[in-house]
Structure 1
Amino acid sequence: MRAARMKELGYEGKVPHVDKENYGTFSIAINSLYPTSVHHGMFESIVKVLGSDQQVSEVWDDIVDYKILGCYAQTEIGHGSDVQGLETEAIYDEATEEFIINSPSVKAYKFWPGDLGKMANHAVVFAKMIIKGEAYGIHAFFFRIRDSESHTPLKGIEIGDIGPKYGYPYKDNGYMAFSEFRVPRSAILSRYVSVSKDGMIELKGDPRIGYATMLWIRVQLLFFGWQVKFSNIAQCVRYTLKRKQFKSLPGTDIERPIFDYQATQDKIVSAICYSYANLTISHFCMDTFYKMEEKVKNEDFSMMNDLHVLISSLKAYCMDYDMTTLYNLRELQGGHGYLYLANIPGWIDAWSPNVTLEGDGYVLFQQTSRKLMKKLKSV
């Protein structure tokens, strides 16, 4: 229902196209993660970054109009953060100029992609490209996965919803397996890699460009975080001003708003200060990412390493502290805050996966520490 309503609003012209900067605002408006958040936040980005100008121009209008609803199919049952360990295969058939997409084992099943379980009709699938028996690393392939009329999975593809989760209850995270599924040679997103008819591969640019999309997703998490916190802070302030406990003066019937207590103010003011810091740094990261993106278009990757360290460390810290902040705000609302009707428990459920997805916090802290130590040694 949320997805249908937001789509309807878009077609009625009441809201602008939900792009990678503003979908978080709409998520706040409907008190839930925006139903097509992966389509906007990841699928659109990867098509733009890795697709050639021709590929993007051919599909962009359909993506904007939701005729193409996409998902980002990278993570598998067996591997997630270890991208080079992905097992899905894309074997080139020179005779037909097609890639044969296969899931050679259960571990190779795509698992967790949001918007896949029910909505997506296209996917960007990351697979190991194999040409003439030789593996050429992990590359991104763009193709249709469901029939345009019936919306059933195409022959050679098995798709399903992975079922209930601790967080993201409204997100249709799914799984996908391939069996001799054929896609045209043009399915490979070809801004930085292309394959000729006779199977000759040409690499263009720096392979690190693929990390730019992951960085952008982390920037979005930072940007969305302050919006979630401010929304819940506003509710908490209203509640603590209205909720009264204990008489303020002996012998009177005047009760004291719980906002007046120092312990309450300490938690609320701390949350406000942190959220403003989150707002400032997320805007800085977004602006810096755009600058890096322009440089990358000219094959200048000089900003990528430092920006990767900054964003990765912030993602790890902020996602962890976001959860602490949301828990504090819930506790300030007493027993009422424990009700799903109060809204904040739903956001705690929805936000909790962010500690793990797009880089486990503990691992990111280790990576950041290692890179900072290398920087220190080079001084």
Structure 2
Amino acid sequence: MRDLLQEDLFDPRQRHDLPLREYMDLTIDRMKAIFRHGLVDNDMWMGRPQEHAFRSMCDVMGLTGAFDFALTSTITDHLIAGSALFNHGSPEQVDRYHDEITQMHEVYAFCCTEIGGGTNLREIRTTVSWNHAEQCFTLDTPTDAACKFWIGNIKHAATVGMVLARLVIDGEDLGHHWFRVPLRNEENGPALPGITILSCDPKGGIQANQVGGARFTGVRLPREALMGRYSSVDADGRFSSTLPDAGTRFVKSIETFVQERIFPLSAGARACELAAHLTWRFAAHRETRGAPRRRTLLDEPLYLERLYQVQLRSLALRLLERAVVRGVERDWHTDPGRKNMHVLTATGKCGSWLVLDVLAACREMCGSQGFHGLNQIVTLRTDFEVNVTFAGDNSVMAYQVARNAMSSDRFATRTPVTLPQRVEKDLVDTWRGRQGGSFSHADAVVLVHARMLDLILAEHDAEPMVPQQVMDDLVADFAAHKLREPHRPVAADREKIDFLAELLAPLPELVTAPMVDDSYLTELTSSARSVSMTLPVQGR
């Protein structure tokens, strides 16, 4: 990936120089280059032939996120659509469409969310009905609320969509199923008959991701469009399934939503490391007092306190990401129902809250330069806003982790040892004492942060990266700001800050902000030097 970042195709200045449509097209070209170099594809997912490369793929997704999160999200949209086909297609379908997905002969879109339902996939309204007369399916969007929305890649490039819809035969709703739906004959061409492409612009971030929507009106689909791993319909319209009922089919249809939750965490961890690095570099030369008693921001104790906090949280995100990846690699084949995987990745997914904390703090710590688009931080902050609801709403994820904590009761037969374990046990005991075992939103947020910290500490124990004093400071920061627990003061000093700055340093190719040294004073004012003005002599 580092070699690709040095190519002209990945020149970061193009983001600010190109019209939006050309920037979107460039992002598709960058995605294809990453696939062409074999850095990412669906065969690297757990359960696929090259799963040994899963960690490497997560690393690449992290680097692309720090470079341009619109690129990461564009890749993710293709990958999760491909995952739907590989997980729900019959062996024949997987073999037929394998190369067009892994080698990107076609650009895929993931047509799942509906504008009226958001993450409430159980209540989707899109239907695929069996047409006896023509022996084919008919795909329809019955209401405005049923329009597929927030679909990456679909606005111009995607030629194939993986559509989640209700299968209806003779008026009977047979539940959620996946369908492979051609969208265009070629990239950037018009939509096929019966398909209306909608725009989701203007978006709040990830501008280069071709996010759009779709309305389907009487779209004819062959029988082979139905993903056939679990269900099939014969030429006479007879339905058969290895899954016993619609409820089971719904659960199975969303089991694919696990691995892609790691990508925003990988990207967020790298983005925070980049932002912390930019802030540290800026602070090293930004003067608070001139000569002869020159001081910079790094000489100010209160500033060091803030900088150390964002470094600790960036470290926490790196350890959390490693812990989640390690857990998925370890348990994927022993957790066929994906229940443990769901809780693990949902916990990691909530790390996107921590990402926004870091990016917001770094933007403020760089003052007005933190608000300048060329200095990267504010753009990262805007782009990463999407992650608190992408691949699942963080609040919903936290509620599910909280319910799991109550049902599993991890400390029923063993004593909690660490701070996050004690916090979890105390919360669960309190909830169990309430009528109906209820918890508040704030309780669930604390619980999921406790689970995060538990994973972070376990990862540190498995593969220490920092001195114990730094980890103790990390725990104290979580205790104070995330766990509502008494804590000792966290002392920041230059030695610890410089150590973490070196540990968390990003690839040099990712650092493009002018403010990293004082030459930005010249670069950002150079246009004024071309203006000459004759000043009047005083007194005349």
TM-score class, shorter-chain normalisation, is 0.7 to 0.9
Provide the C-alpha distance between the structure 1 equivalents of 2:352 and 2:365, rounded to a whole number of angstroms: 20
Over 3 Å counting, the alpha-carbon distance change for 1:293 and 1:229 in structure 2 is same
Q: Deviations over 1:136-155 (max 9, x none)?
A: 11111112111237721000
SS of residue in 2 equivalent to 1:28: helix
> Is 2:325 the counterpart of 1:286?
yes
2:309 to 261, 270, 286: 270
Aligned to 1:159: 197
Aligned length: 367
SS of residue in 1 equivalent to 2:228: coil
Aligned to 1:227: 270
Q: CA deviation at 1:60?
A: 2.1
Aligned to 2:401: 368
Aligned to 1:315: 349
Query: Considering only CA atoms, is the larger Rg found in Structure 1 or Structure 2?
Result: 2
Q: Deviations over 1:242-278 (max 9, x none)?
A: 212125xxxx523212123222222332222222222
Q: CA deviation at 1:222?
A: 1.6
2:38 to 5, 11, 16: 16
Over 3 Å counting, the alpha-carbon distance change for 1:193 and 1:280 in structure 2 is farther
> Is 2:121 the counterpart of 1:83?
yes
Structure 1 unmatched runs, 5+ = none
Over 3 Å counting, the alpha-carbon distance change for 1:263 and 1:44 in structure 2 is farther
Provide the C-alpha distance between the structure 2 equivalents of 1:98 and 1:283, rounded to a whole number of angstroms: 47
CA contact (8 A) 1:118 1:161 kept: no
1:6 to 30, 54, 68: 30
Provide the C-alpha distance between the structure 1 equivalents of 2:160 and 2:32, rounded to a whole number of angstroms: 21
Counterpart mapping for 1:143-222 below 5 A:
143-148=181-186, 151-198=189-236, 199-203=238-242, 207=249, 208-222=251-265
Q: Identify the range of structure 1 (215-224 vs 170-179) with the bigger mean alpha-carbon deviation.
A: 215-224
Q: Deviations over 1:46-100 (max 9, x none)?
A: 2222223321221222223332101111111211222121000000124443211
Over 3 Å counting, the alpha-carbon distance change for 1:35 and 1:5 in structure 2 is farther
> Is 2:278 the counterpart of 1:245?
no
Aligned to 2:360: 327
Aligned to 2:481: none
CA contact (8 A) 1:84 1:137 kept: no
Provide the C-alpha distance between the structure 1 equivalents of 2:389 and 2:357, rounded to a whole number of angstroms: 15
Over 3 Å counting, the alpha-carbon distance change for 1:152 and 1:113 in structure 2 is same
Provide the C-alpha distance between the structure 2 equivalents of 1:362 and 1:8, rounded to a whole number of angstroms: 34
Q: Which amino acid aligns with 1:256?
A: R
Provide the C-alpha distance between the structure 2 equivalents of 1:38 and 1:10, rounded to a whole number of angstroms: 12
Provide the C-alpha distance between the structure 1 equivalents of 2:129 and 2:144, rounded to a whole number of angstroms: 18
Q: Identify the range of structure 1 (368-377 vs 152-161) with the bigger mean alpha-carbon deviation.
A: 368-377
CA contact (8 A) 1:162 1:173 kept: yes
* Structure holding more helix per residue: 2
Over 3 Å counting, the alpha-carbon distance change for 1:320 and 1:119 in structure 2 is same
Aligned to 2:109: 71
Provide the C-alpha distance between the structure 2 equivalents of 1:255 and 1:138, rounded to a whole number of angstroms: 67
Q: Which amino acid aligns with 1:6?
A: R
Q: CA deviation at 1:237?
A: 1.4
CA contact (8 A) 1:240 1:259 kept: yes
Provide the C-alpha distance between the structure 1 equivalents of 2:228 and 2:311, rounded to a whole number of angstroms: 45
Provide the C-alpha distance between the structure 1 equivalents of 2:27 and 2:261, rounded to a whole number of angstroms: 23
SS of residue in 2 equivalent to 1:212: coil
Q: Which amino acid aligns with 1:227?
A: R
Q: CA deviation at 1:352?
A: 0.7
SS of residue in 1 equivalent to 2:258: helix
Q: Identify the range of structure 1 (267-276 vs 78-87) with the bigger mean alpha-carbon deviation.
A: 267-276
Q: Which amino acid aligns with 2:203?
A: K
Provide the C-alpha distance between the structure 2 equivalents of 1:82 and 1:4, rounded to a whole number of angstroms: 29
Q: Identify the range of structure 1 (184-193 vs 114-123) with the bigger mean alpha-carbon deviation.
A: 184-193
1:351 to 379, 384, 391: 384
CA contact (8 A) 1:117 1:159 kept: yes
Structure 2 unmatched runs, 5+ = 1-22, 42-56, 413-540
Q: Which amino acid aligns with 2:299?
A: D
CA contact (8 A) 1:3 1:34 kept: no
TM-score normalised by L of structure 1? 0.88
TM-score normalised by L of structure 2? 0.63
2:166 to 110, 128, 143: 128
